Structure 1
């Protein structure tokens, strides 16, 4: 009977060798979209053979990475909604203050408007006629009419100011109502996402427990074979990194290679433990580049690169849902954080379903 390691190598011709992780590696989940958690494999029943035990671990690891993706996506969306809620609350408070100020302005002009409404000054023609009848001389007539005009002009200004204040109050009231509605909507959306996140985290914890249980059923030899080696045969790190450009993808690869052997931990971002997208984010941060947290977000960052044009330091993505990511290391190899029990390593990427690549 072939060894477990040999059986595993045969299987990788058709599916993943690296138990692709990316565990908590996530893209943006649009609020309102539904995601279906994968049906979990049964981690309890004892495997019939060592090969079955390895396969079960692979299946559970794949399931956990999908759940991790969903959990990180829900967290990312919740963070965005909470930020939107804070902004909406601030805008609502500012709008309410503006409405109060506009009402106070109206109140300031109201007495003058009330007096003007009952004053004969609002009828300048009758006032001017009265001046004409009461004047003793042409000069007195001119003086009285100037006073009437002055009083009328002052009233007109007050009326105009009152109208301006009223218009401002109407605008402020509409803005306040809109801002309050936005704040309520943001709060409702955040509450829904919080509930969704709690559900996904619960499913993730169950999946992680299954992975750990399946790992415990492996023999020491199977665990060692599964973990593999830090570098494949013939890999020459010094030659690969010769002539690297500071701040480039190659220098990010160099930074990532210093993490060889670090354990895989769901949701970890370094510096001593990682998930797949956490390793990529950490490596590029070391060379001054801020990249998104999740694999799906990272798949929209930088510029696209065709698989045939890959260069060391490019970022490579896998699976239809982009649940795994690594850094291309040349010759069909990638640096990546694989999954539980498999430390950060350089491994062939040909057995993992390629999705796309980007150059950061």
Structure 2
């Protein structure tokens, strides 16, 4: 279970008295503005975490490739050492001009048979030396290639590790900004009266919304069945960074709903906006996923008739609400 103040664990904060709102309406508007900022920061932090996960995986894979390349280089060097004594002996023999040849065999032979026997041995020794020389040359070439590969793999591993470190630093910065923004939201919310808090939360369903007729005839595994799963969470609280099963941020609710029908959807609203297939706003059907704002920092599930199911912001539970008050960006069908 995530703590009272959310999946990212901020504690309660007190508002600056000098900045106290002049009216209840101003207090509510300030809370809405701060909540919007926090939602943006939340999605940015989630994106940074996803980016870090990707880069850490890349760095780990690069480290493994570097280790494999180093092992290949060691094996190539061992192969060179295996043939080195033969090459050294051949080089010494050539240097001392002591190599046996067919003429030498002829001069020291006492009979034709002995000559044939000696020539056969010379041919065998020569062929074997030549074969070993060829193997040595192959091993040397393989070692050179392995050394180049190991060097490149090591460079890639260092670059991947540096990229992960840079993203890790960015993530820490975004998390710190989110923590501060969350504290402001909680402090602003604490200044609202019970009536203002209730008005901010609103109703769970708009007037006339008929959940049963909407979901009648749904197709298992489809967007409408994901919508049906999501509708079971109406009334659950909005919590930054939460993915369920009983508290959510906007993209966490979408991910959870589609997971219930066997679809593995990405974590963040930006990632989700590239999943599935695009849908024009005029062609929206219940169960389509709808995205909002130019930075795609909010997401919900279309519920028909210009309505969406979403986890909107702190102090407002998961609910079905009109889409019109939120700047539409795009839609996808999962």
TM-score w.r.t. length of structure 1:
0.85
* 8 Å Cα contact 2:303/2:309 also seen in 1: yes
Match of 1:183 in 2: 157
Distance 1:256 1:305 in 2: 20
SS in 2 for 1:119: helix
Partners of 1:121 and 1:127 within 8 A in 2: no
**Alignment match, 2:114:** 140
Partners of 1:231 and 1:345 within 8 A in 2: yes
With CA pairs under 8 Å and 6+ residues apart, which has the higher RCO, 1 or 2? 1
How far residue 143 of structure 1 moved from its aligned partner, in angstroms, is: 2.4
Question: 2:167 aligned to 193, 198, 204, which one?
Answer: 193
Q: Distance in 2 between matches of 1:82 and 1:60?
A: 32
2:180 corresponding residue in structure 1: 206
SS at match of 2:106: helix
1:104 correspondence with 2:93: no
Instruction: Give the direction of change, closer, same or farther, for the CA distance of 1:43–1:214 in structure 2 (3 Å limit).
Output: farther
Indicate yes or no: 2:259 matched with 1:285: yes
> After superposition, where does 1:191-340 map in structure 2 within 5 Å?
191-340=165-314
Distance 1:231 1:43, change over 3 A: farther
CA deviation profile, 1:30-57 (whole Å, cap 9, x unmatched): xxxxxxxxxxx98961111111111111
SS in 2 for 1:343: coil
Secondary structure of the 2:101 match is helix
Distance 1:123 1:43, change over 3 A: farther
CA drift of 1:144 comes to 1.9
Deviation at 1:118, TM superposition (A): 2.2
CA, structure 1 residues 247+122, in 2 after alignment: closer, same or farther (shift >3 Å)?
farther
The alpha-carbon distance between structure 1 residues 119 and 204, as it changes in their structure 2 partners (threshold 3 A), is same
Tell me the residue number matched to 2:3.
Answer: none
Counterparts of 1:308 and 1:252, CA distance in 2? 21
Which deviates the most, 179-188 or 104-113?
179-188
Aligned pair count reads 322
Aligned to 2:19, what secondary structure does the other structure show? coil
In 1, Cα distance between equivalents of 2:282 and 2:54:
36
Q: Is this contact kept in 1: 2:250–2:300, CA < 8 A?
A: yes
Q: How far did residue 232 of structure 1 move?
A: 0.3
Instruction: Check whether the contact 2:100–2:122 (CA below 8 A) recurs between aligned residues.
Output: no
* Partner residue of 2:53 out of 79, 82, 85: 79
Please give the per-residue CA displacement for 1:98-153, whole angstroms capped at 9, x wherever unaligned: 11111111111111110111225998997111122333343333322221111100
SS of structure 1 residue aligned to 2:242: coil
Out of 207-216 and 273-282, give the one that drifted further.
Answer: 207-216
Say whether the 8 Å CA contact 1:264–1:339 is kept in structure 2.
yes
Q: 2:235 is paired with a residue of what secondary structure?
A: coil
CA RMSD of aligned residues (A): 2.1
SS state of the match for residue 320, structure 2? Answer: strand
Distance 1:234 1:225 in 2: 19
Q: Is the 8 A contact 1:260 1:345 kept in 2?
A: yes
User: What per-residue deviation string (whole Å, max 9, x for no partner) do you get for residues 268-302 of structure 1?
Assistant: 00000000000000000000000100000000000
Cα shift readout 1:11-36 (whole Å, capped 9, x = no counterpart) = xxxxxxxxxxxx99xxxxxxxxxxxx
Closer, same or farther: CA 289–123 of 1 in aligned 2, 3 Å: farther
- Taking structure 2 as the reference length, what is the TM-score of the superposition? 0.92
